[in-house]
Amino acid sequence: MDAVLRAGGEVVPLEQAEAIVYFGNDDPEEIRSMLHERIRWVQLPAAGIEKWADAGVIAEHPVFTAATGSYGMAVAEHALAMMLSAARDLHRLAGAKCWGPNQTREFAGSTVAIVGCGGIGRTLIRLLQPFGCHILAVTDSGHVDGADRVVPRAAYRKVLPWADYVVMSAPATPGTRGMMGAPEFALMRPDAWLVNVARGGLVVTDDLVTAVREGVIGGAALDVTDPEPLPAGHPLWDLENVLITPHAANPRSSYWRGLAGRVTANVRHLGEGSPLEGRVSPAEGF
């Protein structure tokens, strides 16, 4: 409510509203039931909008905006922490009960492939600058500041053999689902790590288990999984070179702060008649 009022908006009953700021139960049918002819715009709470896209809600008459870019710093920070943990073997050493061999490596100067260079990916590039990393960016958006090489998404496999770390920060769409599976892991270096802070469905989980277990890749750091939550007893829990966090890359404080900022900006834009931030493309699904 405060975010709306700060931008000069007014909070009114649904039947009088021209816009909806939604932070409910992630239920597409709930939003569909709220739509009426006066609604011009709907703000969704998440950066990923696959639930609403799959249900066809975003193809309906209002303009939909997502929180894309609002949580970039928090999630990029988590991705960096995961890479540092992998390089310094913290995933193993933190649970050790006796002195063991030093298997750590230096992170500075690493080659990092970032698959999906929206708000998270571009923020991560800035965070990596002090480490002197070589950046391979995968995006259809063209030039990326700070990247040593940029390739379109259709050519993402070309960068896999060169990367020490492959960071997944692409949106979940029909075109990206399962984009990292056995053929892609075979292209990666045997000491390379996969880092996923996007959506679990981008990775074929069974293929990932096999790739880590058989040493095809060095390991995986996952904030998201498929299925999610990852059930107890799943093979990923037992692999030494897998670091898992429970979809925690965006702390709740960052979530509410980022969403409030997006709402304030877009309420102001709506009143001014200017373009809304994070506008969703029904054709692209993000």
Identify the burial level of 100 via C-beta atoms within 10 angstroms of its C-beta, where 0-12 means exposed, 13-18 middle and 19 or more buried. exposed
Would you state the pLDDT for residue 59? 80
Residue in 92, 213, 228, 268 annotated catalytic:
228
Residue in 78, 122, 199, 262 annotated catalytic:
199
Q: What is the CATH number of domain 73-244?
A: 3.40.50.720
Q: CB neighbours of 264 closer than 8 A, spacing ≥ 6?
A: 3, 4, 6, 7
Q: How many other C-beta atoms lie within 10 A of the C-beta of residue 27?
A: 14
| CA angle 38–44–45, rounded 5-degree value | 145
What whole-number distance in Å separates Cα of residue 192 and Cα of residue 83? 10
In the residue annotation, 177 being an active-site residue is answered as: no
pLDDT band at residue 254 under the 50/70/90 scheme? confident
What whole-number distance in Å separates Cα of residue 168 and Cα of residue 205? 14
If one compares 276 and 68, the residue with the highest pLDDT of the two is: 276
DSSP reduced 3-state for 279: strand
What whole-number distance in Å separates Cα of residue 202 and Cα of residue 75? 17
Sequence ranges of the domains in the chain: 2-69+251-272, 73-244
Rg of the Cα atoms in the chain: 20
Residue in 6, 247, 257, 269 annotated catalytic:
247
Would you state the pLDDT for residue 49? 81
What whole-number distance in Å separates Cα of residue 270 and Cα of residue 272? 5
Measure Cα distances from 266 to 6, 8, 20, 33, 160 in Å. Answer: 11, 11, 11, 23, 37
Would you state the pLDDT for residue 36? 93
pTM for the model stands at 0.90
In the residue annotation, 126 being an active-site residue is answered as: no
SS (H, E, C) 89-115: CHHHHCCCCCCCCCCCCCCCCCEEEEE
In the residue annotation, 247 being an active-site residue is answered as: yes
What tens digit of pLDDT does each residue of 181-192 get?
A: 999 999 999 999
What whole-number distance in Å separates Cα of residue 183 and Cα of residue 57? 34
Q: Are 142 and 150 in contact (CB under 8 A)?
A: yes
pLDDT band at residue 208 under the 50/70/90 scheme? very high
What whole-number distance in Å separates Cα of residue 14 and Cα of residue 88? 52
What tens digit of pLDDT does each residue of 149-176 get?
A: 999 999 999 999 999 999 999 999 999 9
